[in-house]
Structure 1
Amino acid sequence: MYQVLRPSSSSWVPLRGCQYHVRQWGKPTPGTTPIVLAHGWMDVAASYQFMVDALSEAFVQQRSIIAFDWRGYGLTEAPATDSYWFPDYLADLDALLDKLYPGQTIDLVGHSMGGNVVMMYAGARPERIRRLVNLEGFGMPDTRPAQAPGRMAQWLDEIKATRQGDNDLKTYASAEGVAARLMKTNQRLSQDKADWLAQHWAKPDANGQWRILGDAAHKVINPYLYRAEETLATYARITCPVLAVEATDDSLGVWWKGKYTLDQYHERLLSVPQVQIARIDNAGHMLQHDQPEQLARLLEDFLA
């Protein structure tokens, strides 16, 4: 199994009706800017471990680094809900920063869904962020008002399916089964890393079945439409420098099959006042797993 170089410590912070799980690497140093890491959809904070291990000792000695499990993921409580709302992630992040770093600016990193959250948060709270890193947080295709009735109907159907148990996540007979699932999704993931991640991505239940640490309600579609114009207006209010990191594998093209392209994403980034784009070679969407060393060097250079 993968040998962790920098173990994290865990704590729990009460936020908006949930006990939020927070991992911390290193110790807070007075006068330095903390780094906050936000994970993506159906993922956990531990996903950043390989990247943290790849950071230089000099960098880690100077900075405190935390990552947290979003509501309904990992070791953070799942609220009593049958669907999740995107604005709640921003409100949770805001509350977490108020609790841990009141009145202090931070460096903020987000992957995938977490990348979308931190971009929107930086536009809503520009004064809180010194530097921001967006790891493949592309956003979504623009929508039209005519799509609203169908979207609402789909949400109602998926809520009904959740009540009936039709959306329950698959269970696995062992941690090895979870690791195999992770390696099937990401063929670059090595066996030792998959075995380690499996212990944090899932846990055995009372019957010995390994269950993913993600609430099935996260898979329910949101009923409201995604409006690119609103996103661009928010991007325009970001005042900090932004590093947008993408992998050489075009995961955006795979997901949306022409409905939303990498070129369109790059066009949206033009609304960000200070942005630079970096690419990581031989990597897919989970670039923090595929090339943690490349990613660590990019972060160190940008956050210096």
Structure 2
Amino acid sequence: MYQVRHASRSTFVPIRQLDYHVREWGDPVGGQPPLVLVHGWMDVSASWQFMVDALDTQRHIVAPDWRGFGLTQHKPPSPDSYWFPDYLADLDCLLDQVAGDQPVDLVGHSMGGNVAMMYGGVRPERIRRLINLEGFGLPATRPAQAPERYSKWIDQIKALQRGEVDLKSYDSANGVARRLMKTNPRLPADKAAWLAQHWAAPDAQGRWVILGEPAHKIISAHLYQLDEALAIYGRISAPVLSITASDDSLGQWWKGQYNLTQYQDRLRAVPRLQQAVVQDAGHMMHHDQPNELARLIEDFLAQPD
């Protein structure tokens, strides 16, 4: 089993009618902004542990489980779909409690990177530094796609109500670990075994179930608005570091519908942008190369204002 260097502590914070699970490392230091880490889709706050262990600097680090993930669960009845703007409001309310009026250093991975980028333009005064780990956004859309999108959203909600949408369960924590290693062949067995204990939990029948609500699999009713995203990017006042992995995850996912060149074009809207690449890494770069990623983040955060 992976041996943790810097143990976290768990707290539950009241945010918008939810008991939000928040993982913390270190203690607040006067005058130093907290480092806030926000995870991606179907992930949990514990996913940051390997990178936190690789950091040299002593920081107050805060990492929430997004609503409907990890230990931030709705009381029944659970929602039948999720809305992206809720993440922005949740993050804003969290920062009220952990940072007050002090700007924070914000790191987001994947979906969390998308949240971080949008939040950075919506609340630019609240961010000192922003680091986006493959928060690519989505392919551009056209208004003509809206009727089919709404229809698909309704159909998927009905399927969820019929019990046809669910998350896979496993016979043991070892089964979860094997799934994690299958998804990411670079993930060592000791890290997979440790992460499995946080990524899933046994149910009443003893089956290990992913700590995420099935409604996260329901497609968004709203089309991704590229013009809106670019307008928000243009309002980010903090320096931004965009980090991608050497593996082209975007090309694997979208099969030509959206590519890295288009992503780089979008980043031109960001006023104060730096970019870096983590070698020998896939989308889960904070698992694949936590030491290299930690160095990139520390160097960026240490740059003079």
Pairwise TM-score range, normalised by the shorter structure = over 0.9
How far apart are residue 33 of structure 1 and its match? 1.1
State the partner residue of 1:41: 41
How far apart are residue 99 of structure 1 and its match? 1.8
The one-letter amino acid paired with 2:236 is: I
How far apart are residue 140 of structure 1 and its match? 0.3
The one-letter amino acid paired with 2:60 is: S
2 CA distance for matches of 1:4 and 1:258?
Answer: 40
Superposed, 1:73-152 pairs within 5 Å as 73-78=69-74, 80-152=78-150
1 CA distance for matches of 2:100 and 2:55?
Answer: 26
Q: Can you list the C-alpha shifts for 1:52-94, whole angstroms capped at 9, x where unaligned?
A: 00111xx12xx21111100000011236310000000000000
Q: Can you list the C-alpha shifts for 1:93-120, whole angstroms capped at 9, x where unaligned?
A: 0011112211111000000000000000
* Structure 1 moving runs of 4+ over 2 Å: none
How far apart are residue 227 of structure 1 and its match? 1.1
Q: Secondary structure at the match of 1:297?
A: helix
State the partner residue of 1:161: 159
8 Å contact from structure 2 (residues 33, 99) kept in 1:
no
Q: Can you list the C-alpha shifts for 1:220-260, whole angstroms capped at 9, x where unaligned?
A: 00011111110000000000000000000000000001100
2 CA distance for matches of 1:99 and 1:159?
Answer: 34
State the partner residue of 1:68: 64
The one-letter amino acid paired with 1:296 is: A
State the partner residue of 1:257: 255
Q: Secondary structure at the match of 2:227?
A: helix
1 CA distance for matches of 2:284 and 2:163?
Answer: 29
Identity score, percent: 64
2 CA distance for matches of 1:205 and 1:43?
Answer: 18
Q: Can you list the C-alpha shifts for 1:182-240, whole angstroms capped at 9, x where unaligned?
A: 00000000000000000000000111000000001001000111111100000000000
Give TM-score, length-normalised by structure 2: 0.97
> Equivalent of 1:170, from 168, 171, 177?
168
Uncovered stretches (5+) of structure 2, i.e. residues with no partner: none
State the partner residue of 2:230: 232
Q: Secondary structure at the match of 1:36?
A: strand
State the partner residue of 1:186: 184
1 CA distance for matches of 2:99 and 2:33?
Answer: 10
How much is the aligned-residue C-alpha RMSD, in angstroms? Answer: 0.7
2 CA distance for matches of 1:52 and 1:146?
Answer: 44
Q: How many residues align?
A: 300
2 CA distance for matches of 1:52 and 1:218?
Answer: 27
1 CA distance for matches of 2:277 and 2:39?
Answer: 19
2 CA distance for matches of 1:143 and 1:261?
Answer: 14
Give TM-score, length-normalised by structure 1: 0.98
2 CA distance for matches of 1:143 and 1:188?
Answer: 34
